[in-house]
A = this chain, B = another copy of it.
Amino acid sequence: MKKQKLLVAKIGGNIIEDKNALESFLKDFSKAKGPKILIHGGGKSATKLASRLGVKTEMIDGRRITSADNLEIVVMTYAGLLNKTIVSGLQKYNCNALGLTGADANVIVADKRPAQFVDYGYVGDVTNVSGKTIKGFLELGITPVFCAVTHDKNGQLFNTNADTIASEVASAMGTHYEVSLFYCFELQGVLENIDDKESVIECIDLERYTELRDTEAISDGMLPKLKNCFDALQKNVRKVHIANADFIKDNTIKHTTLSL
């Protein structure tokens, strides 16, 4: 039997931090047909709140070192303000959104990342996504909206990278649906030449990815994103797109498609 299509979209700071861009994206996303899931980050907001509270923010390779104080800030910002702003924003457009951390309905369980070269603090690496529970929500006509918070099933919440959550959720749903994963990006896609915004690489397969990685042709920040994409493709996800927000309403615009 042909599987039903499922859209998994991830948005980051460039959309979330801009009230008009967010409103416009949520309006377009709510119109996307069929079952869908949204994942959001929110690092910039967390950093701003930390600064207002006099809590130090420390990043290593773009990853937040999450002390107990930082974790509280992350949970307040991601699961509280941003998640509920997005959920109520989608409800406005008749998209029946349900905000989730990994702890809610036990949908995403993680292990605390072991302190090796770097102690990231309360950062969780995903160990299980309950595709069955998420499918149950989708079948009720609900659109799950995940923030970047997981738990260990033992009372501890964690900060977990939103790109990774998107990849893991998309993979878990691949058993039940034909999943396309869309990473919403500030640019048009992955650039061949970082100084030329028009130099979008339209197709990246595993061979091209390995080549780009080994020749250091793409920026450091892009590499973990691409790794998440190929992780998803290798675990049941049909297609991954890295594209500008407008892709949600017009999938013919120039963008990057990743495939194996």
**Residue from A88, A104, A105, A149 with most neighbouring chain B CB atoms (10 Å):** A88
**Chain B residues, CB < 8 A from A33:** none
**Residues of chain B with a CB closer than 8 A to A77's CB:** 76, 80
Q: A76-B77, A88-B151 are in contact. Are A105 and B96 (CB under 8 A)?
A: yes
Chain A interfacial positions (CB closer than 8 Å to B): 49, 52-53, 72, 75-81, 83-85, 87-89, 91-92, 96-101, 103-106, 133, 136, 140, 142, 149, 151, 153-157
Docked Cα-Cα span, A100 to B105, in Å, equals 11
Given contacts A104-B99, A136-B140, contact A80 B91 (CB under 8 A): no
- Would you call B89 and A96 a contact (CB within 8 A)? no
Residues in chain B near residue A97, CB distance under 8 A: 103-105
Complex Cα gap A5–B76 (Å): 34
Contact residues in B for A100 (Cβ distance below 8 Å): 98
Beta-carbon nearest neighbor of A143 in chain B: B105
Q: How far is the CA of A1 from the CA of B80 in the complex (A)?
A: 41
Q: Let me know if B80 and A76 touch, CB within 8 A.
A: yes
